[in-house]
Amino acid sequence: MHALIKISAAIDALNERVGRMAIWGVLLAVLVSAANAIMRKAFNVSSNAFLELQWYLFSVVVLLCAGYTLLRNEHVRIDVITGRLSKRAQNWIDVFGIVVFLLPMAILVIWLSWPVFVNAYVSGEHSNNAGGLIVWPARLLVPVGFVLLALQGCSELVKRVAFLRGLIDNPLEKERVLTPEEELAAEIKARAGIES
């Protein structure tokens, strides 16, 4: 089990790194969108390539950050019922969800999307829109994103089982970190207290 915990930590590190890099896709998508809007409104020039680049960048964020979101335990949960259960019961529910739902779904999507990517790559598929981009990079994001999600699902499964065996702390406990807004509010309150 200790070897699996080390592998789990390596998977966590991979998804942490990929997620932190992919998050920059949001900024890039906003900049591309703003540039496209300015060009369209100010100069009456539009580009399908810019529109498709926005879609590609949003796809990068959504698909490559799925494993990162699972790692951070930030995915959508229904805590109304599970929040009232014991920590062990919550982890058993996660084990069930990972084994019965997450991993089979991720494997199915990988299996179905890989031939679509290969076909797009081999054929040199381009967008049907005039001036559009090549399609295979977007098609590749699907299997890569789901591989990262499946790997993180395996990592989470290892952590849940390790917790249930008493080897590690509860992986469902979120580390409470102040958001930048909360830090600013605390600083303002501290300064207001000093000035009073």
Summarize pLDDT for 75-131 with one digit per residue, the tens. Answer: 877 777 777 888 899 899 999 999 999 999 999 999 999 999 999 999 998 888 887
d(CA 150, CA 109): 10
Structural domain that includes position 65: 2-195
Q: Is 192 exposed, middle or buried (0-12, 13-18, 19+ CB in 10 A)?
A: exposed
Which pTM does this prediction carry?
0.82
Q: Lowest mean pLDDT: which of 107-121, 151-165, 180-194?
A: 180-194
How many domains does the structure of the chain reveal? 1
Instruction: Provide the token pair at 165.
Output: 């065996």
DSSP summary character for residue 73: T
Is the pLDDT at 49 greater than 90, yes or no? no
The whole-chain average pLDDT of the chain stands at 89
